[in-house]
Amino acid sequence: MEEVPGGEKHDPGVSFIEVGRVIGLHGARGKVKVAAFSGDTSGLLAAKSLRIDGGREPGAARVYEVVTAHRAGGCAVFSLKGIGTAEAAGALSGAVVSMRRDELPPLPEDEFYWADLVGCRVVNEEGIPLGEVIAVEAGPAHDWLVVARACGGEGLLPVVAAFLRSVDVAARRVVAVPPEGW
């Protein structure tokens, strides 16, 4: 266990998932505004603690206890224990925000968290290996799986039903029909 701001103990074995980015401060009392990577802040508001990594003063990631959370202007606004001034909150601008996996809301059957796709095998409908997911990137119209292709190099696979036939996170397998020329 390690000490974190506000006296909270943090178990380094706890899994965190990146969920957003600090985009600025809110008010004069040290609240931070967080934009959700998914575009939907409702899941973020359930957080009891947040891990914040980076910002204007990069260093080791720190875990903060959430004192209050509410929605404002399409963002989640948090008051964090140990961050009480506008200067302290402003220093976190640009930082990546992560939530404890066990605090994330459950997803419908046909949805998944990006982090769960990294490391999944990608195969075609005949089961022939195409590669492995190494990252997921956001796009303006849809997201993209970054795949280390079995034949070498990387390929971007659109996260749309026309190309992804099934995703089985438990089996660590994505069945895909890549676009022509992929």
- What pairs with residue 175 in β-bridges? 123, 166
Same fold, 2-103 and 114-176: no
Q: Is the pLDDT of residue 8 over 60?
A: no
Residue 147, class by beta-carbon neighbours within 10 Å (0-12 exposed, 13-18 middle, 19+ buried)?
A: buried
pLDDT surpassing 60 at residue 5 = no
CA-based end-to-end distance of the chain: 46
Supply the pLDDT for residue 57.
66
Architecture of domain 114-176: Roll (2.30)
Domain spans of the chain, in order of start: 2-103, 114-176
- Indicate if the pLDDT at residue 55 is higher than 80: no
Higher confidence at residue 98 or residue 12? 98
Q: Give me the pLDDT at residue 109, please.
A: 79
Least confident window among 3-7, 55-59, 132-136: 3-7
The pTM (predicted TM-score) of the whole model is 0.70
* Class of CATH domain 2-103: mainly beta
